Structure 1
Amino acid sequence: MKIRLSGVWVMGLLLSLIANTSGCHRKVYAELEQIDPIDRRSNLLMVGPINRDLADIKKGGTLTVIAPYNATTYFIYRGEPLGYEYELLQSFAKDQGLALKMVVVADPKSLFTILNSGEGDIAANRLVPTPENETDVSFTRALYRTAPVLVQQEEPPAKAGKGTEKMLAPGPADQTPEVDIQARLITKPSQLTGKTVTLPEQSPYNRTLVELSDEISGEIYVVEMGALQDEALAQKVAKGEIEFTVMQKNLADLKEAEFKNLKVRPIISKSHSVAWAVRKNSPELIQALNSWIEKKQNGSLFDKLYQKYFIDRRNYLERVESGFLTSTTGKLCAYDDLLKQHANDINWDWRLLASQAFQESRFKPDAHSWAGAAGLLQLMPATARQYGVKNSLDPADNLQGAVKFLKWLDGFWHERITNDVERLKFVLASYNAGAGHVQDAQRLTEKYGGNSQSWEDVSYWLLQESTQQYSIDPVVKFGFCRGLEPVNYVSHILERYDRYKQFVAQTSQAAQ
């Protein structure tokens, strides 16, 4: 379908997901339960809002938020829920004396219909108020302001940077042929005349491009890809599959840090607000939200969380970069004896455990991650509690808890992955991303004809879990995953372990 809107040609390119599911396993295992209910309905017709306001919500005791999984709104990391909007909503619910329930919506276009039907109380998804959607829902005060920016390729994929090779490599899920990328960068909006810009379906920036097209008196062609969202489109630009996309600048800056062959410029319109949505007949709820936002924006909460999810690139880049520690003394760190002691508990070569410890904290026992993990092996708070760790910053306490967790993971994968060498990769990936996300990748591998016993195959599909198309696939239970992190995590640990074996004596259990 191709529609001309005031100087912009809009070509509907709605990518449908394959609905068939994989066959049953030959063996029956106890499966991990998904953390959130996932609503997979799509293309729902708009309905009028039900009558339920804050007083009714408080009677029930639970505030229900509907949102997709994505890189900043809401996602699961090492088994714990995180996200800029999630943490803000968690704080609001606590201040209101309410429990917070997240319902994941696979199709962002259905958010407002599901909200109005009463299956949620607040919709969150980096929402941009527009005249079109303000007829259906009401928006809160701005959580932050950002501007629409053009995302384009400056260098070929080979220049994307260390750690991105697997993410940008073609694979069985890639069916779109590469396009020829222009040699000259767009430096001002007027140069978009005659160009094609790819957007998610129903993007607020469709209107922006209509207005820009009128302003520059030139045609801009817009392709809508219904199954893909901003993060996936940025990756397609980096791979050379599409020329341009437009997204919020703070998110685009993160993608530019990840894929160094991207150029995020120029800004194509003025800044706008990003907000939450509620039903139009919920005046008590929107008043409470607006008062809370205004109050908290005068404190430290908003700045702290914005810094954590949008500004701090150090931990973001550590997930795609890693160095090697070298030594001529045969001693890796101050905790060699502890590592040797606890490696025996899981029958690991201590140098393998040391490589993992370096990957996690660079042997710094007081290290803290952006997500709240702490200590030598970066235990998340819930994991530390589960394995009896009283002080994650105590190297001995941290190590004993981490080794118990690794032992559990090895047991979890023992019958699922029969080859010892392959199983180690699944264990390490599960330590980093959570066993649920790795199982999701296994299910995708089986569904699309790969070998679910092979890390090479499963790691490819783990990477695809960071895309909208596959994070909402019917076989996926745990949704969006920053797949590049666990894939690089496994390869960096094993490469460093090989390096350690070259110059550090084993003097302990047999090597893997």
Structure 2
Amino acid sequence: MTRTPVRPLRWLLTGVAATLLGCAPPGPGSLARIHKRGTLIVLTRNAPTTYYIGRDDRAMGAEYARIRDFAASLGVKPVFVVKSSVGGLLHALAKGEGDMIAAGLTPTTARREQFDFGPHYQQVTEEVVCRRGGPRPKSAADLDGVTLKVIADSSYVSRLRALKRQHPALAWTAVKGVGTESLLRQVWKGQLDCTVADSDIVAINRRYFPNLKVAFALSPAQPLAWVMPKGSDELSQAIADWMESAKGRTQLAAIDRQYYSPYKVFDYVDIRTYVRRIDKRYPDYRALFLKAAARYQLPPIILAAQAYQESHWNPAATSATGVRGMMMLTRRTAHQLGVKNRLNVRASIRGGAEYLAHLRQRLPAAIKPPDRIWFALAAYNVGLGHIRDACALAKRLGRNPDQWRSVAQVLPKLSVPRYYRTLKHGYARGNEPVRYIRRIRNYANILRFHHLRMPAPATQLAGLDDDHWPGAFGPGPFIDP
């Protein structure tokens, strides 16, 4: 008697199961569903470490860049859905509003019970951040009496609860509806003693708030990972395959360099260094600034001062975010302006002047000189979309949207959630364009004084006084617009 082989029966059962599964709707993380849709729906936060609109009105952020490259590996387009808080992100994912979360989240024990996590892509440390000149705690035991706020529904709350068992006097406030960046800003302004933030968030924000001080590490190094609904095996495997591939590793390393590599930021005016550079560097470029300013009807000293603010008159300057050259043009802007080599000083100055004039031309006619040049410079720094948002917000708050002094008072609110969530372009580092204009005006006043003492043909000096550009320089140095 011949026995029936077992293998064909096993094959038959497998085929039946596959057929039945094929009739069932795809589960969470189904690549077939993502490919059919043609999009990867990603929940994120509007913040500098995750997703925001940059200076030339394009999306930026470390999480945005990672998702962009991962989605490209799948052959689909990423669609970003912005939520206002960590709790909002987790709630939205649980309701099926997205395929995943990319927002720099830590896979805590509580979160693992409800969600799946992809591979770790970054290590961060939770840090207690205070302000220079303020409280200086050195450990959790020193936090007694310190006003401490953290964002609600965060891993910071879990960490503090664990520490409270050892330090019963430890107290904090968990705040809903705000981001870590908003609390860091409160610390910077002296409105709050300390907060807790991941080291990557601190690294980026200290570029703009240099008086923030890391008091001590609240936790050991912890991983960050993308979050998915339970059962997202296919999507999780696809993420792992991309992150472990040679191309994926190269892309992730490049993103880390772009957003987290340290680079020098000039937050304070060093007058002695500046005056030395007026004598040593500026004469080499003076004629180029005058020619470009005349071509595009710009104040030449303002253009030169802007170039110093951008690059310190270094034609080979390159920032970690990829802007390059004397006028620190982005690749996209340079392409639009026909600048083939951003390190060519003549092309960079001409391109920067053309772009500044273009931004000035796109402003509402109601904005008059000299305010018009300050609005254009602010748009050069943070993007025209954010400047339009600030004008709309100024009008809403009863301020003059056509006056730089009024809009400068409103711009910092673009980093406050209750304001930027109501605006078209969302989060922006609103303090930065205000400081940018202040420094340019300071530089311009000093340069004007030195420039008029330099020997030069009268034709080169034309247009450097208040008769040609009334109010363009401000009433004196160190003015706060």
TM-score by length of 1: 0.77
Q: Which runs of 5+ in 1 are unaligned?
A: 1-48, 157-181
Which of 286, 289, 298 in structure 2 is aligned with 1:339? 289
| Offset of residue 407 of structure 1 | 2.1
Q: Distance in 1 between matches of 2:221 and 2:363?
A: 48
Residue by residue over 1:33-57, the C-alpha shift from the partner in whole angstroms, topping out at 9 and shown as x without a partner, is: xxxxxxxxxxxxxxxx974512221
Alpha carbons 2:412, 2:431 under 8 Å: kept:
yes
Measured at CA, do residues 377 and 67 of structure 1 come closer, stay the same or move farther in structure 2, by a change above 3 Å?
Answer: same
Q: In the alignment, which of 407, 418, 426 is matched to residue 458 of structure 1? A: 407
Letter in 1 for 2:419: Y
Kept in 2, the 8 Å contact 1:62–1:99? The answer is: yes
Match of 2:225 among 249, 252, 275: 275
1:439 lines up with 2:388 in the alignment: yes
- Structure 2 residue 404 is matched with structure 1 residue 427: no
Aligned letter for 2:159? T
Matched, 1:147 2:121: no
* 2:425 corresponding residue in structure 1: 478
CA gap 1:330/1:361 in 2 versus in 1, 3 angstroms: closer
Residues 372 and 195 of structure 1: CA distance in aligned 2, closer, same or farther (over 3 Å) = closer
1:64 is the counterpart of 2:13: no
Query: 1:284 is matched with which residue?
Result: 234
Shift of residue 426, structure 1, vs aligned partner: 0.3
Cα deviation for residue 279 of structure 1 reads 2.0
Cα deviation, 1:436-476, whole Å, max 9, x if unaligned, reads 1111111222222222222222112212212333321x2x1
| 8 Å CA contact 2:43, 2:89 repeated in 1 | yes
Q: CA deviation at 1:195?
A: 5.3
**Alpha-carbon separation, structure 2, partners of 1:484 and 1:198:** 22
Q: 2:191 aligns with which of 238, 241, 244?
A: 241
Match of 1:362 in 2: 312
Q: 1:153 to 1:350 in 2, by over 3 A?
A: closer
Instruction: State, as a whole percentage, how many aligned pairs show the same letter.
Output: 28
- Bigger shift: residues 108-117 or 137-146: 108-117
Q: CA offset at residue 254 of structure 1?
A: 4.5
The question of 1:186 aligning with 2:133 is answered no
* 1:175 matched residue in structure 2: none
Contact 1:151 1:265 in 2 (8 A): yes
1:297 and 1:248 map into 2 onto residues whose CA distance is 27
Q: Is the 8 A contact 1:432 1:489 kept in 2?
A: yes
Indicate conservation of the 8 Å contact 1:52/1:118, yes or no.
no
1:403/1:253 CA distance change after superposition, 3 Å: closer
Question: Is 1:296–1:302's contact at 8 Å kept on the other side of the alignment?
Answer: no
Distance 1:266 1:293, change over 3 A: same
- Please say if residues 105 and 226 of structure 2, whose CA atoms lie closer than 8 Å, have aligned partners that are also in contact: yes
Q: Which residue of 2 aligns with 1:34?
A: none
After TM superposition, give the deviation of residue 307 of structure 1 in Å. Answer: 3.6
- Identify the residue that residue 448 of structure 2 maps to in structure 1: 501
Shift of 1:104: 2.3
Matches within 5 A, 1:77-92: 77-78=54-55, 79-92=57-70
Tell me the residue number matched to 1:44: none
CA distance in 2, matches of 1:110, 1:50: 22
Amino acid corresponding to residue 425 of structure 1 in structure 2: W
Output one character per residue of 1:364-421: Cα deviation in whole Å (capped at 9) or x when no partner: 222222222222212212212222222222233333332332222111115141x201
How far apart are 1:117 and its partner, in Å?
A: 4.2
Contact 2:45 2:83 in 1 (8 A): yes
The answer to whether the 8 Å contact 1:50/1:117 transfers is: no
CA contact (8 A) 1:256 1:264 kept: no
Higher share in helix: 2
Q: Which residue of 2 aligns with 1:227?
A: 177
Distance change >3 Å, CA 312–CA 283, structure 1 → 2: same
Normalised to the residue count of structure 2, the TM-score between the two structures is 0.82
Distance 1:321 1:62 in 2: 44
Counterpart Cα distance in 2 of 1:95 and 1:331: 46
> Matched residues in 2 for 1:449 and 1:149: separation?
39
Q: Structure 1 residue 297: deviation in Å?
A: 9.8
| In structure 2, distance between residues paired with 1:296 and 1:236 | 42
- Residues 352 and 239 of structure 1, relative CA distance in 2, 3 Å threshold: closer
Q: Which SS does the other structure have where 1:220 is aligned?
A: coil
Name the counterpart of 2:78.
100
Deviation at 1:350, TM superposition (A): 1.9
Moved more, 246-255 or 74-83: 246-255
Residue 303 of structure 2 contacts residue 353 of structure 2 at CA under 8 Å; is this kept in 1? no
Q: Which residue, 202, 206, 211 being the options, matches 2:157?
A: 206
In structure 2, distance between residues paired with 1:427 and 1:503: 25
- Cα distance change, pair 152–405 in 1 and its aligned pair in 2 (3 A): closer
Quickly say closer, same or farther: Cα 1:295–1:245, change in 2 above 3 A. same
1:251–1:310 CA contact under 8 A, matched in 2: no
CA deviations on 1:97-120 (whole Å, 9 max, x unpaired) are 222232322344221333344443
Equivalent residue, structure 2, for 1:32 = none
Aligned pair partner of 1:111 in 81, 89, 95 = 89
Structure (1 or 2) with the larger CA radius of gyration: 2
Relative to structure 1, the CA distance from residue 92 to residue 329 in structure 2 (aligned partners, 3 Å threshold; closer, same or farther) is closer
What root-mean-square deviation, in Å, do the aligned CA atoms of Structure 1 and Structure 2 show? 2.6
Amino acid at match of 1:499: I
Separation (CA, whole Å) in 1 of partners of 2:61 and 2:281: 39
Change (3 A) 1:269 1:339: closer
Pair 331,295 (structure 1): closer, same or farther in 2 beyond 3 Å: closer
Q: Rate the CA distance shift 1:365–1:154 in 2: closer, same or farther, 3 A.
A: closer
Gap change, CA 1:343 and 1:262, over 3 Å in 2: closer
CA shift at 1:424, angstroms?
A: 1.0
| 1:422 Cα offset (Å) | 1.0
Does structure 2 conserve the Cα–Cα contact (< 8 Å) formed by 1:68 and 1:107? yes
Give the aligned residue type for 1:497: A
1:407 aligns to 2:357 (yes or no): yes
In structure 2, the residue corresponding to 1:326 is in which secondary structure?
helix
Q: Deviation string for 1:97-147 (max 9, x for gaps)?
A: 222232322344221333344443221111112233223321111121222
Aligned residues: 430
Q: Is the 8 A contact 1:197 1:221 kept in 2?
A: yes
- Shift of residue 488 of structure 1? 1.4
**Change over 3 Å in CA distance of 1:255–1:61 after alignment to 2:** closer
1:321 aligned onto 2:265: no
Matched, 1:398 2:375: no
Query: For 2:392, what is the secondary structure of its paired residue?
Result: helix
